[in-house]
Structure 1
Amino acid sequence: MDALDAKILRLLLEQPRTSVREYARILGIARGTVQARLDRLERDGVITGYGPSLSPAALGHPVLAFVHIEVTQGHLDDVGDALATVPEIIEVFSTTGAGDLLTRVVARDNGHLEDVVQRLIRLPGVVRTRTEMVLRERVRHRMLPLVDAVGQTAGTRRRP
């Protein structure tokens, strides 16, 4: 990734509904160059998708919690597959530490959260759970500062 890639990614993050032609105009480069860069960034897995960012709270699920799940050895994949069927689970990560999996769970209210956690506890292979409720989001999910940092580093790096 180089400084131009970072500029393209910044535009994509700041103005996601803008056309490739407009990105090219803003950057002062050919539309084909922007498209080729976007295609390569997709192929390389830098860009993983396009779409709206949705608010679980606006969808009626304002409660957010992180549920740590300890799994019986040898059942990590099975539990992961089962978690994928629970609509209130919006992310799952394998982790080190006290638990094996960290899930991000949304719910309508505290009672609904308890129902979801009870469902998780009953999954085959789940040994125990630990739930941490989110009180307030302090830093929203973001990529722009990282893109800027990578772009600055790319701008100072010399090519061989």
Structure 2
Amino acid sequence: MSRELDQIDKGILYMLQREARETTAQEIADTVGVSPSTVRNRIDQLETDGVIRGYHPEIDYEMANLPLRVLFICTAPATRRAELADEIMNVQGVIDVREMMTGRRNLHVEIVATSTTDISRIADAVHELGLEIESSELVKRRQIQPFDHFQFRG
């Protein structure tokens, strides 16, 4: 169940998306116009409500000796898509799975690998689960940014 976010919540979420690790409750409070304790309470509530589901580091996999990043575009039977998405996360090297709403090409599986042997191992595991790989693409670069639909203006 979703919840209605006010401007304070939106500001907190925006600031956390920009740099959760380096941003203090005091900095967020100064930006959104409330006390640091209110910020901490709001963050706790956003976590409890499931709006904030975790804090994840952004990893440069190439620097971590995983130079190959590949996106498998797969098709799963519609009735097993969610189950297979959960199962594929257990394959070593899989870092991201996205479920598409309908049709073919309904699972996008992102992997990291050190060699083509690794890629083949993961592709074999994907096939063994019952997924059909429609295409695979070598990922050159991925960029992310704070989600700006919150329209926070601090």
What interval of TM-score do these two structures reach, taking the shorter chain for normalisation?
0.7 to 0.9
User: Contact conserved, 1:71 with 1:79, CA < 8 A, in 2?
Assistant: yes
Residues 1-160 of structure 1: matches in 2 within 5 Å?
1-16=5-20, 17-25=22-30, 27-72=32-77, 74-95=79-100, 96-123=102-129, 125-126=130-131, 128-137=132-141, 140-142=143-145, 144=146, 146-147=147-148, 149-152=149-152
Q: State the TM-score, normalizing by the size of structure 1.
A: 0.72
Question: Aligned in 2, Cα 1:45/1:55: closer, same or farther, shift over 3 Å?
Answer: same
RMSD between aligned residues: 2.7
Residue segments in structure 2 that go unaligned for 5+ positions in a row: none
- Tell me, in whole angstroms, the C-alpha distance in 2 between the residues paired with 1:107 and 1:94: 22
Looking at CA atoms only, which structure, 1 or 2, has the larger radius of gyration? 1
* Cα distance in structure 1, aligned partners of 2:51 and 2:44: 10
Letter in 1 for 2:104: A
- Say which SS state the counterpart of residue 151 (structure 2) adopts: helix
TM-fit CA distance, 1:74: 4.6
Q: TM-score, normalised by structure 2?
A: 0.75
Q: Are residues 92 and 32 of structure 1, via their aligned partners in 2, closer, same or farther at CA, if it must alter by over 3 Å?
A: same
Q: Is the 8 A contact 2:82 2:99 kept in 1?
A: no
For the residues of structure 1 that align with 2:56 and 2:76, how far apart are their CA atoms? 33
How much identity, in percent, do the aligned residues show?
Answer: 23
Partner letter of residue 127 of structure 2? Answer: I
Q: Is the 8 A contact 1:65 1:131 kept in 2?
A: no
Which residue of structure 2 aligns with residue 158 of structure 1? none
- In the TM superposition, residue 49 of structure 1 has moved relative to its aligned partner by 1.0
Moved more, 57-66 or 22-31: 22-31
